Amino acid sequence: MDRPRAPAALSRRRFLKLAAAGVAGAAVSSLTGAVEATDTGAAREEVPVRGWRRWMHGFGGEDPAATARALKDAGFDVVVSGPTDAVTAAGMEAWLCGGAFGLPGEGADQLKAVNDRGNRHIWFGSGCPNQPPLRERNLENYRKMAQTPGIAGILVDGCRFASPASGLDGYLTCFCDVCREKAGRLGFDFAKMRRDVIVLREAFTSRTGRASRKVEWVENPVGVAEWLTDHPGVLEWLRFRRVCVTEHFRAISEVIHRADLRMGVYIFTPSLSPFVGQSYADLSEFMDVFAPMIYRNYPQRPGEACLNWELTIIPEELGLQGTPEESEAMALVLSWTGLDQIVRDRTIDGVRAALPPESVAQQTAFARALIGPTKELAPIIYIEDPQIRKTVAGVREAGADGVNFFVFMDKWAELVAPAMSG
């Protein structure tokens, strides 16, 4: 497996735009090997003319044909995980959705991810992304899905490593023996990775560590860069995650594209994707549709992939709510994700309740900058958004080709109605 491509040089204009936005997360993307997108103003690729497409994830109702006709009449173009015959008969595209590293019912313990402390852990119902039995089982599932008559494509979900919403014990994985062997084979320093991730945990969890120079990043982004250069194993760990995830995406792509189907991805937002091993730059080489999961107000814990949970689970786990450190920690998190100029609240509860609709537009714009003008971009948003009209308008203005609603509910027509005009 090839290592990530070398970072492309940032144009002065692009650098200043990133610096002004306070996107420290972009620095992580660059340091872990991501390729910065060329400024869209300088793009030379011919931009395809596409209509605005509306997607619905999920399906319901006692009469599938009636539900499909209602969705079509409301303006929907694509249904994900619905009855293919009813959806296509109504004149819409039918897509399927598959997972990645879900654990089987038997023999699962040895397939679990292992954290920096050597403890086995389940995240998002999944195990270690490098376990051969999980990978082959997953590819076989896609082979079967690809044989489904009448579908236009398949969306891939959950192809990643654990995220912050899984908590520190879940997130700081995988250090199993399979990953040890693979890291060595790919030229990564596994011992250095684990050593520095252990230091990272101590920096998060130790009160003396949070007050020391070890976590100077708490005070300013420059300290983060210094800390990461002092602990390169953390960047190696993130790069290893990326290489492994891209590898499996490529394997899935071969299955889907061999069946002459389109391939899409439910992907973490650009501000979070480097932390779970997902690379917009890598995937843009073979992915057809990008659907960033930009849920700003998802209500249910643990809320994997949801901005309002991914940004707050670890600060909550560290016991920072109601302490003098809470506002500093949330300011840091928001700065690193480039959201500090949009999100004004600096409390865990406030951020968790909901991020502003502008945050969804911002992440959409970041995604467009990363994948270029020719790839189809249809962010997936939470359907019970009280400001859904504003959220969808922002997505469209930010350069998306459509929007996907998660998830189908009985009152779907009422929920999406404010966003269906235009």
Q: Is the dihedral of CA 155, 160, 165, 170 positive or negative?
A: positive
Collapsing DSSP to helix, strand or coil, 406 comes out as strand
d(CA 110, CA 128): 9
Q: Which residues on neighbouring strands pair with residue 98, listed in sequence order?
A: 156
Contact 267, 242 (CB under 8 A): no
pLDDT of residue 364: 98
d(CA 86, CA 385): 28
At 228, list the tokens. Answer: 């990461």
pLDDT of residue 222: 76
Contact 191, 199 (CB under 8 A): no
Contact 153, 264 (CB under 8 A): yes
Contact 381, 405 (CB under 8 A): yes
d(CA 188, CA 185): 8
Distances (CA, A) of 156 to 141, 235, 249, 267: 11, 26, 8, 8
Residue for token pair 């394997």: 251
- Which residue in 130, 419, 411, 401 sits closest to 292, CA to CA? 401
Residue range 205-261, pLDDT digits in tens:
886 555 454 444 455 667 778 888 999 999 999 999 999 999 999 999 999 999 999
Q: Which residues on neighbouring strands pair with residue 64, listed in sequence order?
A: none
Instruction: Write down the pTM of the prediction.
Output: 0.90
pLDDT of residue 46: 52
pLDDT of residue 276: 98
Residue range 168-219, pLDDT digits in tens:
999 999 999 999 999 999 999 999 999 999 999 998 888 655 545 444 445 5
Contact 346, 288 (CB under 8 A): no
pLDDT of residue 335: 87
- Residue 308's Cβ-side half-sphere holds a number of Cα atoms within 13 Å equal to 21
Q: Report, as ranges of residue numbers, the positions in the chain whose pLDDT lies below 50.
A: 1-24, 26-27, 34-45, 211, 213-217
pLDDT of residue 206: 80
pLDDT of residue 391: 98
Residue 50 neighbours by CB distance under 10 Å: 11
At 88, list the tokens. Answer: 């296509």
Contact 366, 398 (CB under 8 A): no
pLDDT of residue 352: 98
d(CA 297, CA 295): 6
Residue 94 neighbours by CB distance under 10 Å: 25
Q: Which residues on neighbouring strands pair with residue 57, listed in sequence order?
A: 80, 406
Which residue type does 85 have? D
Using omega within 30 degrees of 0 as the cis cutoff, is the peptide bond preceding 302 cis?
A: yes
Contact 380, 293 (CB under 8 A): yes
Contact 336, 369 (CB under 8 A): no
pLDDT of residue 13: 46
